[in-house]
Structure 1
Amino acid sequence: MCGYYDPVRIAHSHNIPILWYIHIGYGASTIHSNDYSNLSQILQISESDRIRLPKRFVDNEEENVGEESVEYSEFLPISSSSVLEQIDSTDWLVLRANDGISKPHEVRGGPVDALIAYATQPNGSLLYQEAFLTTYRTFISSTELIDKLIRRYIYMSLSDAQSFVKVARQSFSMLVRVVDELCAVEIIRELVRTITKFINRLIGDGNYTFAKLLRMPSLFEFRSSAIAKQMTYLDAELFQKIEPAEMLWWSMEQNEKKSPNLCSFTEHFNKQLRTMGNYNSYLAILSALDSGPIRRLDWSKNALDMLKDHSSIMDSSHSFKNYRTLLSESLPPCLPYIGLVLQDLTFVHIGNTNYLAPENCNYCKNLINFGKRWQQFAILDSIRRFKSWNYSIEKDDKILYFFQDFKNYLSEDDIWELSETIKPRLRRNK
């Protein structure tokens, strides 16, 4: 996920030490030039390196070790419960000693929980933290990591000792960074449930600042007019690419290869959309609201009245008479409902022969029925006229990010499951 808050501003406004949020923000690297020098030294591994093996071991942890993993004969895995409760996890790690430094700090390996704990030590290496955040997905899922960071934070926050408080803060800082950088595919229901439960706990503890920082950004934070503008921005961008030939071919063959721009467009906030003349997305929103899984839910009278008002415009009876009237009266720029354009072209194609009937033309054959072409032209010419105008809308990446190119959507089965979770079906008595 992308972060849209300013950690420096938030830290100052709440008198929070800025070091707490050293990793919170827009994903920019915190590695400085001297850290890159350290990284170069770390990557220079030789046989003469002095490796310090773990000092502490606990049995009974099951970990999957890859075939190519480095093996240390003295190493024993540890349990996942105790290490997360330690302020310092270096005793569980495999470290490389540095010349002239009494306490080694270059991590060479260790159990997952020890690596997590080391990444959240207050005075730990920023370079290691960056390396951990960049690569953790290769040995632990984001869901598991978030769960462990929450456990570590909760345990450390139970104590008022300054050392524990520092670890708790650093653990929370790491947690926010992980959540902030989640990919769309990682945001599964289980993860959302875990984070929501933790946020509720923070609120219950009166820790509103932390709860706000961890709260996932939502589309509902933006004005409906702003969302409508960005939907129109996307629609208009695709609409301008559609050529009349693509729509003609689609009405005859439904060939995606011949109509790539049309397919992109069709895959792609009622009042604001209507105001902007974006009838394509307008109808898509109304169709979603009128679908079975959503229509069966309990809505307020005001919501139903509003939906009824909008739905009357897109009423399909009398060949969308209300919509066609509104469209003819709309001032440009405007985005027509492409589905209806394709429907009209299909009806013209199916309802009219390609050639004139010989019996009506002195039995002359192979005479092109250009009357059919006039009808097709009348439909397509209206589209060409709409393309003569375009919207003057500035791109807003903060909003467009949430759309995810409309690739992240629920299946029909998932929508029904969610609907029945909100409003369970009534069981019939047998």
Structure 2
Amino acid sequence: MNKLNGSYPVVEVVRGPIFIINERSKMQDLNTDSDHIESADKIIYENAGGIEIVKAGTLEGLVENLTRPDKLDALFNRTFLTTYKYFTSTAQLIDILLARFNCPPPITEETKSLVRLRVINVLKQWLEHFWTERKSPETDQNLERIRELASRAAGSLEASAVQQLLGIIQRRLAGLARMKISRQSISNPPKPILPRKLDKLQFLKIEAKEIARQLTIMESHMFNKMELKELFNKSWQKKESFAGPAPSPNIRALIRYSNQLSNMTGSLILAETDFKKRAQVIGHLSAPIYRLTRTWAMVTEKSCNILRPLQGLTSSEQNYNTYRETLRVAVPPCIPFLGLYLKDLTFIEDGNKAQTPEGLINFHKCTMLSTTIHEVHRFREAPYSLYPVPELQEYLASQLQSATGLDELWDRSCELEPRGRGELKPRDFYTPTGGMTTSMVVACMVLDD
């Protein structure tokens, strides 16, 4: 069974003609003379189907694009505010935004008010949706600087925008997170399918669909706790330090859960010494153990028919293209297999430098990071309409925590069906995919509701 530490998938990068745009709107091929990148407001654009996409630039140039009065580029703004810590600090970004608000000449008075309003709206968007600073004296000092700016702007700009910004600043100074929108489910939860005796639970006597529901609730709680910043800088791979909090605690919890789920699957199957009971557990859990050929021969055709479409969904062909396309059109609630996105982020981080050869910020890398991060967070938009059953969750949690490790599972498998005994082969539909299969099996079972 493969865990989350597999090889990197391929991330396709679409390339196109790249140009340097200077303040006189002169256009030059990037592969020619780079001496034209001199002033602080330079940006490199890529022309994609007639649309200019920012590929690189100086920090000042990127901030000007963020607050330009003639055009609102929502995707650029989201990318910038999501990834700004890759190329600047919070204090420095505030400095540049304050300078931008002051609008030094030769900006006209008419343009000045538009730029200032755009700065206020960017600050509002930043503090409401992308602020990741921990409560500290330094954080409070930065917030006070923004509040001073907003107070100065109160009499000269749109009152509602300024008042909204002041309200957000006040909440942040109080240590409060963003105002959360109530996410009520639009459907009535299905009635739980309970076993007769909740005090003496046995795996095969718990309805398979209810197992899937409770595992989904448990994983969704962990998934929804994950913060945006946990996906930055491969922090989930960093070693823990006694000096501070563990990096990416919620991602680490999800990784543990995924690996425990994979191990629990094997443990439940291999706990049975009888062929028929092992086959029953496989059919009940809908997750395979590849090398138990004689056991597989006894799995019912009905169970095999359930597993066949999952085989296609979890195929690794073309970088898990079928699964990615399924996720792309999926409507939340949905819990994606996080390991796939962590590999994508690792590939982007390792395969793209922070700066271009000319010393500009590589904003193309930031765009790829932001797109992947927000694809993950898109699935947090809606809650599952399921009833939690504490007794079942406690039982499943104990099974997860006590699951045998991979090496022990392999030894137990060989003990039950020694190598070389029998000539039967597993069903021809099956290709093992480990933890990914078990996670997605659970998700697909829930989709039947």
What's the TM-score bracket when you normalise by the shorter of the two chains? 0.3 to 0.5
Return the structure number with greater relative CO, CA threshold 8 A, min gap 6: 2
